[in-house]
Amino acid sequence: MKLHAPGTHALLLALLGLGVAGCSGALTQPQYQAYLTDPAHGLTHTQEVNGTTITCSYRPPDLLVSQELATSDATATPGLVDSLRHTYAGKLYCTLALARDSTELEAAVSRDETALSQTLSYLSTGIAHDVYVRGLGQPDSTAALAAAYTRQYGNTGRSTVLLVFAPPQLAVSRGFTLTYRDTQFGLGPVHFVFTPQALARLPALQL
């Protein structure tokens, strides 16, 4: 995995992991992730553009906290949880997944060394400059602070990029629009709207 902004290594690694923490009255991590990926809950959106399936999902900071706890040998004390929450606060996390014919985008160009190199380079670096967020009702957009891409070699059926944003005045709970202004695959601008209502309904995660 390649990271492309200083100080974001731990943040993006946490996005990749899976884990389960414990506490009554909230969802387990598998339940939480199932909730997030269910389109009916408004936190995952999918569009079809020129034969490509584009899926955008919101990643709440508590999910990153849970994932980091799951990969740590430290006991999940309230102090540690609060510290991790502070680490991930103030930023917005989303994933952008692209698939063509139910396979990763690089699969279509795997026999063309030049095209494959260009595709992997774009997914690992260039795409961060093409994705923006804007608070609902706000005039200004902010490009991604960092992006990470790990090649899956056919294991997932999609090319998933992890994105971190640090918009200076964005209140996530008030809703936001993520815009993908593709410059590589001919997909054109694609918009994904995350409403205040969908964000407010998000259940708690066990930590």
Q: Is 206 part of a structural domain of the chain?
A: no
Q: How many domains does the chain have?
A: 1
The predicted model scores a pTM of 0.80
Closest CA to 64 of 15, 103, 105: 15
Longest dimension (CA), the chain: 52
Q: Is 174 part of a structural domain of the chain?
A: yes
Cα separation of the two ends of the chain: 27
- With vertex at residue 94, the alpha carbon angle to CA 90 and CA 99, rounded to the nearest 5 degrees, is 170
pLDDT in 10s for each residue of the chain, 207 residues: 444 444 444 444 444 443 333 334 689 989 999 999 999 999 999 999 989 999 999 999 888 888 888 877 677 788 888 888 888 888 899 999 999 888 888 888 888 889 999 999 999 889 999 999 999 988 889 999 999 888 877 678 889 998 999 988 788 999 999 999 999 988 889 999 999 999 999 999 988
Q: Which domain holds residue 10?
A: 2-200
Q: Is 115 part of a structural domain of the chain?
A: yes
Q: Is 76 part of a structural domain of the chain?
A: yes
Q: Is 27 part of a structural domain of the chain?
A: yes
- With vertex at residue 54, the alpha carbon angle to CA 48 and CA 60, rounded to the nearest 5 degrees, is 140
Q: Is 12 part of a structural domain of the chain?
A: yes
